[in-house]
Amino acid sequence: MGTGVAEHETKHETLPARPPELAMHFDNMHQQFHSGKLGMWLFLGQELLFFCGLFTAYAVYRGNHQEMFHYAHYFLDTKMGAANTVVLLVSSMTAAWSVRCAMLEQRKGLLITLALTFLCAGAFMVVKYFEYAHKLHIGAVWGNGFHVQTADLPPELLAKYPEMTGEKLKDMGVGSFFAVYFCMTGLHGLHVLVGMGLYVWLFIRALKGHFSRRWYGAVDNVALYWHIVDIIWIFLFPLLYLIG
Amino acid sequence: MSEATHEHDHHGQLPGTIGHVSSWQTLVKVLVTLLILTVVTVAIAQADLGRLNVVGAIGVACVKAGVVALWFMHLRYDKRFNFFILVGSFALVAWMIGYILFDTMLYQHNVQDYKRDRQAPATP
Amino acid sequence: MAGGGVVKPAAHDKPRKHYLNHVKTFASWLVTLDHKRIAMMYLAAVSFSLLLGGVFAIALRTVLWNGAPAGPDSRILGATMEQFYNKMFTLHGAVMVFLFIIPGIPAALGNFILPMQLGAKDLALPRVNLLSWYLYVMGLCFFIAVLVFRGLDTGWTLYPPYSMGGGSEGQRVWLSLIFAYMAVFILGFSSILTGLNFIVTIHKLRPPGMGMYDMPLFLWALYATSLIQVLATPVIGITLGLSLIEHMFHVGIFLPEYGGDPVLYQHFFWFYSHPAVYIMILPAMGVQSEIMGTFTRKHIFGYKAIAWSSIAIAVIGFLVWGHHMFVSGQSPTAGIIFSFLTFLVAIPSAIKVFNWVATMYKGSIDLKTPMIYGLNFIYLFGIGGLTGLFLASISTNVHLHDTYFVIAHFHMVMVGSTVNAFLGGVHYWWPKMTGRMYNETLGRVGALLVFVGFNLAFMPQFVAGTRGMPRRYANYLDEFTVFNQASTIGAYILGSGIGLQVIYLIHSLFKGRKAPSNPWGAASLEWQSESPPDFHNFTKPPIVTGAYDYENWEYESEEAGWHLKQEVIDTGKTLSKVH
């Protein structure tokens, strides 16, 4: 029950010995587990609101500059975006699977799924690196810095609009698109990096045998975080890469 | 996911486990569903449907997000309050985006006028 | 005789071990996970911020005694007098809002009291709690860095493009602005973590047998506050994160010359900062509910109405941010909708005031220091709230926007209500937190000085504002002299009232009378612990009594405190036995 006080009184009489993982202000492992999980869910709620600012910026700039967004979306490579989507979806499954392994106390399976999740996240960042590098190379950047030569424009764009030039795009304010693009994917990428760090941490703890069927809150909560990172990408991918 | 898989989910659960164990079959099915939906959203985007493209993209994304939340994130088996947190956050996100978009569209003509005035050559 | 949960130490015993002295090293404070110690560290930190912000206020009111002499000749601290004034009002606003009022009541008083009112041992997530304090201190350090690096004069709202141009000092304050963004960003996360922790604690550590409607109203208020903290604060995080990037790389989200939209910044900013004013006022209303019940010795009137009006304020608070933007580029249609929605907030606020007044009706009112603050609260909140309606209606708002009327209005609510409740709460729980009684006479004198000083400082501003004196100007026309000088005198009196409190409260730590476990006859669970509480909060399981059932307690003159009646102890259930 809710007060630690009861425990104070009856420690040696009625309650079973307290597991070493149980903090002094909780009564049982269930209460502790669900407290951590509720905390994580609230954190995820604030994550959504945190990203919400960027989605609003996207909506506002897109809503008011539809033509420019149409041209700009040719700069993003659908294949790379789709590849990254698949990689993240797979990692989401391995993350969910790692929770299953932790609950079933399958140590080997846990280590494998944690490692796979980490590797998928790494693969995501590698693809992201190539995308960023290409854009920075041709000068497809934010604000007034946009300076793509007409020769460097995406072939699909030139095929459909042969008269399009880099100058025209710049005057149209295509820098706003890249501001939104880099801020959204950048913040998302930052979250992926944090997730990778967390998976390294979980892997080390799993190696040390820290987790059990009653004590796997860390695996579960990090997986929840990872799924929300996935969900955000699920929205980013069509909004940025697909619709023009 | 059917009742049968639900039954299956408890297969192999150790005594005293906190929470609900998903079967690996469920996880694979969910992943396949998500991949199919990804293909669907790419396919929809290839067709030129005008405004419907946006609706389709966001609609499919919402379905995908729902699938991830219900199965991968266990919301189907979790405390209902956690579900409310997610739904409440999404509602707030929708309110913020919707209202700000609504307002910026309304004042946009002022911005356009301003830009035009600045570009026009100064007249005495 | 020992009342419920109270063990009276015999005189010859060694000093009782409690949370303050069970370990004494300085390091034990820095790594503590005990909510009571973290609360005390928060109390120290927010009090420091209050005094810092107060010094800025005194400085800017001093400049306004005659208005700053124009031109570059009069210089102070490396800036012209006008720039100095601009920096003072900017820093006064920023420090008071982000470092004092937002964390003040929840993080300092709430941290201490919330688990105890639930009969729990700690907050659900103690490490997160400590992390939130460290984030707060980091934010404070960044603000001090702003001060050291030339300060800022952009106004606390940091509106672009003016702010990113560096205000009147241009790019010389480039670094200060980065520090300011960092500070607010970090403080936001400190606030989110506190709110998150409170929600988890109320859900998961509320004992069986204590339903939501059995909780003291302070907890309802903190719950509503926490909802806003968790759901609104991330928006200011992303806003200032984007501003930081915009400021450093000119990406073109907010700055028009790079293709950005400055009105979007205002939308984002107020999406947080309007709900944030309810982060400021809701916990204050919670403290007020506790004080009104205790010092009228009457069950609080309209419990459920007060409880749900807190939630209603939290929800409606998300729907009204645009009333800060009536004259700044927002579309008229949006303005009209926001104007209408803003009126709605007045309803739950008024419900609370009616209930407090009804609680006092035929109560036996005891004018102890916290109660004087409680009365100040009702009076000043009434004025602050009603003048809010003037500002909510779009047509009067256009006239009054950015005048001293607005300044006076929000100070009535922020200072008149929140600071009063903060001071009232500090006095109310001071015996519990420190184990010492403060000097009651000086306490009352302090409360009266605050009341008189405050009214003298802000009532004239209503008049000056309606006559057209704009805010944020270092000079004014001669016709406003009398209002400004009265206001400055008021500010000094208010400052002296707070200064007096600092002196006698610190004095009481060393020389004050030892506090009984329940000096006021309050009925919520925290008063069943000893003063100061044991490390585990309760030495005996508390007995379940209604949070406002004052008839369960009786006064004992020997220890000058209250204890549970014997029959309650005999027949009552302890929290450990309810399930």
Using an 8 Å CB-CB cutoff, list chain A residues near C115.
25
C436: helix, coil or strand? strand
Whether residue A143 and residue C258 make contact (CB cut-off 8 A), yes or no, is yes
The whole-model pTM stands at: 0.93
Using an 8 Å CB-CB cutoff, list chain B residues near A44.
85-86, 89
Using an 8 Å CB-CB cutoff, list chain C residues near A56.
264, 267-268
Task: Read off φ and ψ for residue C80, nearest 5 degrees.
Answer: -70, 160
Model confidence band, residue A17 (pLDDT cutoffs 50, 70, 90): confident
C42: helix, coil or strand? helix
The mean per-residue pLDDT over the stretch A150-159 comes to: 92
CA gyration radius for chain C? Answer: 24
> What is the β-pairing status of strands C561-564 and C553-556?
antiparallel
Please report the residues numbered 167 through 226 in chain A whose beta carbons come closer than 8 angstroms to any beta carbon of chain C.
173, 175-176, 179-180, 182-183, 187
Q: What is the mean pLDDT of each run of 10 residues along chain C (579 residues)?
A: 44 77 92 96 96 96 90 78 92 96 96 95 96 97 91 89 80 88 96 97 92 95 97 96 94 89 94 95 97 96 96 95 90 92 94 96 95 96 95 93 96 94 97 96 97 97 96 94 97 97 96 94 94 92 91 92 92 71
Distance from CA of C28 to the nearest CA of A (A): 18
**Which of A169, A155, A146, A152 minimizes the C-alpha distance to A67?**
A169
Whether residue B104 and residue A63 make contact (CB cut-off 8 A), yes or no, is yes
Whether residue C322 and residue B106 make contact (CB cut-off 8 A), yes or no, is no
Query: Does C118 reach chain A within 8 Å, measured CB to CB?
Result: yes
Tell me if A21 is assigned to some domain.
no
Distance from CA of C303 to the nearest CA of B (A): 24
Distance from CA of A143 to the nearest CA of C (A): 4
| Residue C245: per-residue pLDDT | 94
Q: Count the neighbouring beta carbons within 10 Å of the beta carbon of residue B62.
A: 14
Using an 8 Å CB-CB cutoff, list chain C residues near B111.
261
Using an 8 Å CB-CB cutoff, list chain A residues near B35.
86, 89
Q: What are the pLDDT digits (tens) for A158-208?
A: 999 999 999 999 988 899 999 999 999 999 999 999 999 999 999 999 999
Which range (A32-46, B35-49, C13-27, C509-523) has the least confidence? C13-27
In angstroms, the CA A220 to CA C397 distance is 51
Tell me if A165 is assigned to some domain.
yes
Q: Using the predicted structure, report yes or no on whether residue A95 has a pLDDT greater than 90.
A: yes
| Residue B110: per-residue pLDDT | 85
Using an 8 Å CB-CB cutoff, list chain C residues near A47.
234
Q: Residue C330 is nearest to which of B88, B89, B107, comparing CB atoms?
A: B107
Distance from CA of A37 to the nearest CA of C (A): 9
Contact C139, C179 (CB under 8 A): no
Fold category of C37-577 in CATH: Cytochrome C Oxidase; Chain A (1.20.210)
Using an 8 Å CB-CB cutoff, list chain C residues near B107.
263, 329-331
| Residue C3: per-residue pLDDT | 40
Q: Residue C203 is nearest to which of B81, B104, B106, comparing CB atoms?
A: B81
Q: Using the predicted structure, report yes or no on whether residue A16 has a pLDDT greater than 90.
A: no
| Residue A8: per-residue pLDDT | 42
Whether residue A179 and residue C251 make contact (CB cut-off 8 A), yes or no, is yes
Q: CB-side exposure of C301: number of CA atoms within 13 Å?
A: 15
| Residue B122: per-residue pLDDT | 57
In angstroms, the CA C145 to CA C86 distance is 18
Using an 8 Å CB-CB cutoff, list chain A residues near B22.
96, 99-100
The residue of chain B nearest to residue C316, with distances taken between CA atoms, is B92
Q: Residue B93 is nearest to which of A55, A103, A105, comparing CB atoms?
A: A55
Distance from CA of A89 to the nearest CA of B (A): 7
Tell me if A170 is assigned to some domain.
yes
Model confidence band, residue B9 (pLDDT cutoffs 50, 70, 90): very low
Using an 8 Å CB-CB cutoff, list chain C residues near A9.
541, 576
| Residue B11: per-residue pLDDT | 54
Whether residue B107 and residue C331 make contact (CB cut-off 8 A), yes or no, is yes
Tell me which of C331, C333, C336 to substitute to probe the interface with B (most B C-beta atoms closer than 10 Å). Answer: C331
Residue A89 lies in domain: 44-242
Chain A: list its partners (3+ Cβ pairs within 8 Å).
Answer: B, C
Using an 8 Å CB-CB cutoff, list chain A residues near C538.
3, 5, 8
* CB burial string A104-143: b at 16+ within 10 A, e below: bbbeebbbebbbbbbbbbbbbbebbeebeeebeebebbbb
Using an 8 Å CB-CB cutoff, list chain A residues near B31.
89-90, 92-93
Q: What are the pLDDT digits (tens) for A62-83?
A: 998 889 999 999 999 999 999 9
Query: Does B82 reach chain A within 8 Å, measured CB to CB?
Result: yes
Q: Count the neighbouring beta carbons within 10 Å of the beta carbon of residue C485.
A: 15
Task: Read off φ and ψ for residue A65, nearest 5 degrees.
Answer: -135, 60
Query: Does B87 reach chain A within 8 Å, measured CB to CB?
Result: no
ipTM at complex level: 0.93
Q: Residue C331 is nearest to which of B89, B95, B103, comparing CB atoms?
A: B103
In angstroms, the CA C402 to CA C465 distance is 9
Model confidence band, residue A4 (pLDDT cutoffs 50, 70, 90): very low
Model confidence band, residue B1 (pLDDT cutoffs 50, 70, 90): very low
Q: Using the predicted structure, report yes or no on whether residue B124 has a pLDDT greater than 70.
A: no
Whether residue C208 and residue A52 make contact (CB cut-off 8 A), yes or no, is no
| Phi and psi based region of residue C362 (left: phi greater than 0; alpha: psi -120 to 50; beta: remaining) | left
In angstroms, the CA C193 to CA C129 distance is 7
Whether residue A45 and residue C230 make contact (CB cut-off 8 A), yes or no, is yes
* CB burial string B99-124: b at 16+ within 10 A, e below: bbbebbeebbeeeeeeeeeeeeeeee
User: Who contacts B46 (Cβ-Cβ below 8 Å, separation ≥6)?
Assistant: none
CA gyration radius for chain A? Answer: 23
User: Who contacts A204 (Cβ-Cβ below 8 Å, separation ≥6)?
Assistant: none
| Residue C328: per-residue pLDDT | 85
Whether residue A234 and residue B81 make contact (CB cut-off 8 A), yes or no, is no
Using an 8 Å CB-CB cutoff, list chain B residues near A103.
13-14, 17, 19, 21
Task: Give B10 or C329, the one with higher predicted confidence.
Answer: C329
Whether residue B99 and residue C334 make contact (CB cut-off 8 A), yes or no, is yes
Whether residue B111 and residue C261 make contact (CB cut-off 8 A), yes or no, is yes
Task: Give B119 or A99, the one with higher predicted confidence.
Answer: A99
Contacts 24+ apart (CB under 8 A), C168-174: C168/C83, C168/C86, C169/C83, C173/C149, C174/C247
**Tokens representing residue A35 in the block:** 């407290």
Using an 8 Å CB-CB cutoff, list chain A residues near C259.
143-144, 173, 175-176, 179
Q: Residue C231 is nearest to which of B89, B99, B110, comparing CB atoms?
A: B89
Using an 8 Å CB-CB cutoff, list chain C residues near A39.
124-125, 128, 196-197, 200
CATH of the domain at A75: 1.20.120.80
| Residue B14: per-residue pLDDT | 81
| Residue B2: per-residue pLDDT | 36
Tell me if A168 is assigned to some domain.
yes
- In whole angstroms, what separates CA A27 from the centre of its chain? 34
| Residue C532: per-residue pLDDT | 94
| Residue C243: per-residue pLDDT | 95
Q: Residue C261 is nearest to which of B89, B102, B104, comparing CB atoms?
A: B104
Contact A48, B89 (CB under 8 A): yes
Tell me if A26 is assigned to some domain.
no
Query: Does A38 reach chain C within 8 Å, measured CB to CB?
Result: yes
Q: Which amino acid is at C490?
A: G
**Which of B121, B9, B119, B18 minimizes the C-alpha distance to B71?**
B9
Collect all residues from C whose CB is shorter than 8 A from any CB in B.
203, 231, 235, 261, 263-264, 267, 271, 318-319, 322, 329-331, 333-334
| Residue B113: per-residue pLDDT | 85
How many distinct structural domains can be found in chain A?
A: 1
